[in-house]
């Protein structure tokens, strides 16, 4: 992480993508989609990406971090949208405690 983030333009998110994808090291990637979905599912109460990363690391086993990040990201990109979430087709509907979720 330290070596990657020392490269100009590379932050934690990009470093975690590289670590998880290129090097096969477990990494939690937090982007806007992961942030939104993790908050809506009650996996974190933070808006700070580093805090969200730690919360997810404490909640899930290390071997799941990279895949979990990818699934949360894609779920946020295609189902749990920021403005118009597709709650009616969401497979996580029953696990979601978000107060703004749409009724089925």
Q: Which residues are catalytic?
A: 13, 31
Cβ pair 84, 26 in contact under 8 A: no
State the Cα–Cα distance between residues 43 and 20, nearest whole angstrom. Answer: 21
Phi-psi map region of 60: left, alpha, beta (phi>0 left; psi -120 to 50 alpha) = beta
> Can you spell out the DSSP letters for 71-96?
HHHHHHHHTS-SSS--GGG-TTGGG-
């Amino acid at each position: 992480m330290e070596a990657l983030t020392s490269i100009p333009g590379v932050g934690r998110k990009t470093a975690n993508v590289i670590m998880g994808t290129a090097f096969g090291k477990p990494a939690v990637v937090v982007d806007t989609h992961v942030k939104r979905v993790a908050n809506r599912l009650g996996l974190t109460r933070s808006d700070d990406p580093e805090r969200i990363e730690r919360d997810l690391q404490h909640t899930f086993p290390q071997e799941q971090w990279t895949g979990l990040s990818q699934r949360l990201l894609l779920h946020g990109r295609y189902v749990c949208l920021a403005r118009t979430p597709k709650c009616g087709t969401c497979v996580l509907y029953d696990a979601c405690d978000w107060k703004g979720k749409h009724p089925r």
